[in-house]
A and B are shown apart, each in its own frame.
Chain A
Amino acid sequence: GAVVSQHPSRVICKSGTSVKIECRSLDFQATTMFWYRQFPKQSLMLMATSNEGSKATYEQGVEKDKFLINHASLTLSTLTVTSAHPEDSSFYICSALSRDRVDTQYFGPGTRLTVL
């Protein structure tokens, strides 16, 4: 089946640094990728939707200058948390829509970010 990978799976960084999270579709072309944030014991909150080759669409309340999304190719999207602060600590999950099967959303395993 379709596989989505995320790297890194865990990252700990100091406040003020930037962190890049990669999301790759390994065996399919992802026309659309989604980035979610999940706080402990809560649901997934959609942060942004990115289509290959175009600017990401951010959900209301999500700072686009803080969470930079780049969907440079049909298999790679990156989320950069700039000048991270402790309140940015969270579980970040990406998912991808296959060009061939838009009824199914494939999720990555998630990245746990801890900002000290």
Chain B
Amino acid sequence: AQKITQTQPGMFVQEKEAVTLDCTYDTSDPSYGLFWYKQPSSGEMIFLIYQGSYDQQNATEGRYSLNFQKARKSANLVISASQLGDSAMYFCAMREGPGYQKVTFGTGTKLQVIP
């Protein structure tokens, strides 16, 4: 079974609009962390946002927010006011297990921002 599922291989969004990238996860561990990373064409993985399984509030970092619905096991990334520079691959990831050492990445969503 997939640990992290990203069902949108590609997305388009108009510049200045908001976009939601979906991510669902599967774990039996009560303690885990959820992450979103951006990977532009240069290849570097850029950390965007983190949500801990015990966090009561949804994480926010600037234009990024994480819509964490624990019961549904979803951790969608919302990007507000899209910019052309947001065009990239976006990966959802989960860390679980002792020391948070077990890491699983989703298959990614390619986001393209249209002027």
Cα distance A107–B44 in the bound complex, in angstroms: 7
The distance in angstroms between the C-alpha atoms of A95 and B35, with both chains bound, is: 14
Q: Return 17 A-B CB contacts under 8 Å, by A number.
A: A34-B103, A38-B43, A43-B106, A43-B107, A43-B108, A44-B45, A49-B101, A95-B45, A97-B101, A102-B99, A102-B100, A106-B47, A107-B44, A107-B45, A109-B42, A109-B43, A110-B44
Interface residues of A (CB under 8 A from B): 32, 34, 38, 42-46, 49, 91, 93, 95, 97, 102-107, 109-110, 112
Q: How far is the CB of A32 from chain B (nearest CB, A)?
A: 6
Q: Check B43–A97 contact: CB distance below 8 A.
A: no
Q: How many A-B residue pairs have CB under 8 A?
A: 50
Bound form: Cα–Cα A97–B45 in Å: 14
